[in-house]
């Protein structure tokens, strides 16, 4: 897959090396679907937002109409944990976490490589996903500072 430059930030220069965000050709946006009331998921979304220098990601909760519509269009069941969507492609669970880190670039791309080859990553992720409410709790308030998917079609675009 090739890389294209973000329209907001054409390129960055560090020393003599040109650094480009890792955006596969043809993907208009990356949508991170997270569990809305999950405190861990909300913290993770905030963490990614702080490090997303090229504004590649959009965010929407699992419980949103956008997620339901996407899953119906793709003919897949509603996910029970995090999902990363790029065009008609999607990754779930641990694979979504690895891909999101990879898209952040820099040292996070190296971290994604290490994560991807961690023995038992999927089992650890599944265990954490099953126990996330008992360990981290639930939050009643929704995230309101996240940019939503550009393809959102409701009369009032949400701000998740």
Q: What is the pLDDT of residues 64-77, one digit of tens each?
A: 888 888 888 888 88
Contact yes or no for 65/148 (Cβ under 8 A) = no
Per the document, the length of the chain is: 160
Q: Is residue 152 part of a domain?
A: no
CB count within 10 Å of CB 21 equals 21
Mean pLDDT of 106-133: 92
Q: Is residue 153 part of a domain?
A: no
> How many domains, in total, are found in the chain?
1
Write out pLDDT tens, residues 75-118: 888 888 899 988 778 899 999 999 999 999 889 999 999 989 99
pLDDT band at 147 (very low <50, low <70, confident <90, very high): low
Q: Is residue 142 part of a domain?
A: no
Strand blocks (E) in 2-103: 12-14, 17-19, 30-34, 57-61, 83-86, 89-92
Average pLDDT value for the chain = 77
Measured CA to CA in angstroms, residue 112 lies from 4, 37, 93, 137, 156 at distances of 20, 26, 14, 26, 35
Write out pLDDT tens, residues 98-109: 999 999 988 999
How far is 11 from 130, CA to CA, in rounded Å?
40
Parent domain of 130: 27-136
Query: Given this model, what pLDDT does residue 92 score?
Result: 92
Query: Given this model, what pLDDT does residue 105 score?
Result: 87
Q: Is residue 105 part of a domain?
A: yes
pLDDT band at 151 (very low <50, low <70, confident <90, very high): low
Q: Is residue 41 part of a domain?
A: yes
Q: Is residue 67 part of a domain?
A: yes
Lowest mean per-residue pLDDT among 49-53, 93-97, 119-123:
49-53
Residue 37 sits in a domain whose CATH number is: 3.40.30
């Amino acid at each position: 897959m090739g890389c294209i430059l973000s329209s907001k930030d054409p390129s960055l220069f560090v020393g003599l090396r040109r650094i480009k965000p890792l955006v596969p050709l043809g993907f208009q946006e990356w949508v991170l679907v997270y569990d809305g009331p999950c405190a861990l998921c909300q913290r993770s979304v905030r963490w990614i937002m702080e490090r997303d220098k090229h504004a590649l990601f959009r965010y929407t909760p699992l419980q949103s109409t956008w997620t339901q519509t996407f899953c119906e269009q793709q003919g897949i069941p509603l996910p029970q944990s995090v999902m990363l969507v790029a065009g008609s492609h999607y990754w779930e669970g641990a694979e979504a976490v690895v891909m999101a880190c990879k898209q952040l670039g820099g040292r996070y791309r190296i971290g994604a490589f290490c994560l991807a080859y961690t023995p038992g990553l999927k089992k650890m992720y599944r265990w954490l996903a099953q126990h996330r409410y008992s360990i981290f709790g639930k939050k009643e308030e929704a995230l309101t500072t996240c940019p939503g998917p550009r393809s959102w079609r409701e009369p009032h675009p949400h701000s998740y």
